[in-house]
Every structure is written in C-alpha cells, then in structure tokens.
C-alpha cells in the first residue's frame, strides 16, 4: 500500500478547526464580554486583568511537587489536559526557560483581535506556577502573539 503526502489544510478548514476550540455555547457570551472589556479598558489594563485572572486560576489549580523540569512539565500539562486546554513544553536554555503552550482556547474564545491582551491569562498562570516551583524574581513574558490555533510562546528570564 502506498500513501501520498497530505497538504496543509485549506484556510477554511483551519479556521473551522480553530473555532472548535471554544464551545459554541460560550462564543456569543465571551465575544460580548470581550467587546465590553475592550471598549472600557486599555489593552494594558486588560493584560493586567488577565494576569490577575491567571494568578487566581493557578492558585485554584496548584501543581504537584516536581524535582525536575520534566516532572514540572507533566504536572502543568496534567492540569491543561484535564480541562482540554492543550499542553505545555518546557525547554531550558542558558539564561532562560522557554514555555511553549499549544492549543489554548483563549484565541478562539476572545478572538484574534484581542491576542495583545488575552495572553495575559496564560502569562499569569505560568508566572504563579513557576513561583510556586521556586523561580524567585524571574519573570514570565510572552515573546510571540498566539496564533489562530492557540499556540503561544513565553520565556522565564531576568
């Protein structure tokens, strides 16, 4: 049996699949909420709000103790998988920790027009979790905007 290569999905298919990351019953509500937030607060204030929400989420979902980076990654991913929010990959470089979150529904829920501030949620979660793990004064920052699939990159560094 021979197989042929499958090409990347069309933009229509990709858009449809990305939209499936947020349950249809929540889309209208979350879009109205997002629009209200965006009309009342600056992007900086919205980012700060989402950071605080992420901090609350992390406090409500503490991680299991971890002795290694691999265990920490598994503990974080276990939380995300339990709520169908994708997974995380951690990779250590000399002066920083790279955090790659894949398939978060935040972009689908709030829309691509709000990625400037909506990533603050994950930033707050990872900051809190890494503080729990002993990161000290290091800070988590988003280093690239989320894509349509909810894949976003952060770094923990000075």
Domain encompassing residue 95 = 11-157
Residue 81, in any domain of the structure = yes
Residue 6, in any domain of the structure = no
Per-residue pLDDT of 95-147, as tens digits, reads 899 999 998 888 778 877 777 788 899 999 999 999 999 998 899 999 988 88
Residue 1, in any domain of the structure = no
Residue 16, in any domain of the structure = yes
Residue 69, in any domain of the structure = yes
CA distances from 128 to 24, 84, 98 (A): 30, 20, 16
- pTM for this predicted structure: 0.87
Residue 124, in any domain of the structure = yes
Domain with residue 25: its CATH number is 3.30.1380.20
Q: What is the domain count for the chain?
A: 1
Closest listed residue to residue 101, CA positions, set 53, 157, 143, 59: 143
Residue 136, in any domain of the structure = yes
Residue 84, in any domain of the structure = yes
Confidence of residue 7 (pLDDT cuts 50, 70, 90): low
Mean pLDDT across the stretch 79-93? 94
Whole-angstrom Cα distance, residue 101 to residue 67?
A: 21
Task: Give the model's pLDDT for residue 11.
Answer: 67
């Amino acid at each position: 049996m021979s197989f042929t290569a499958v090409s990347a999905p069309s933009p229509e298919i990709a858009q449809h699949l990305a939209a499936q990351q947020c349950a249809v019953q929540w889309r209208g509500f979350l879009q109205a909420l997002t629009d209200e937030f965006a009309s009342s607060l600056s992007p900086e204030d919205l980012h700060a709000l989402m950071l605080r929400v992420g901090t609350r989420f992390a406090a409500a979902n503490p991680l299991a103790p971890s002795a290694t980076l691999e265990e920490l990654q598994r503990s974080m991913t276990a939380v995300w998988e339990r709520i169908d929010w994708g997974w995380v990959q951690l990779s250590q470089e000399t002066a920083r920790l790279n955090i790659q979150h894949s398939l978060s529904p935040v972009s689908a829920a709030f829309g691509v027009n709000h990625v400037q501030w909506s990533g603050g949620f994950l930033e707050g979660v990872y900051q809190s979790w890494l503080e729990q793990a002993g990161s000290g004064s290091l800070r988590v920052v988003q280093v690239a905007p989320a894509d349509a699939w909810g894949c976003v990159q952060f770094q923990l560094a000075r």
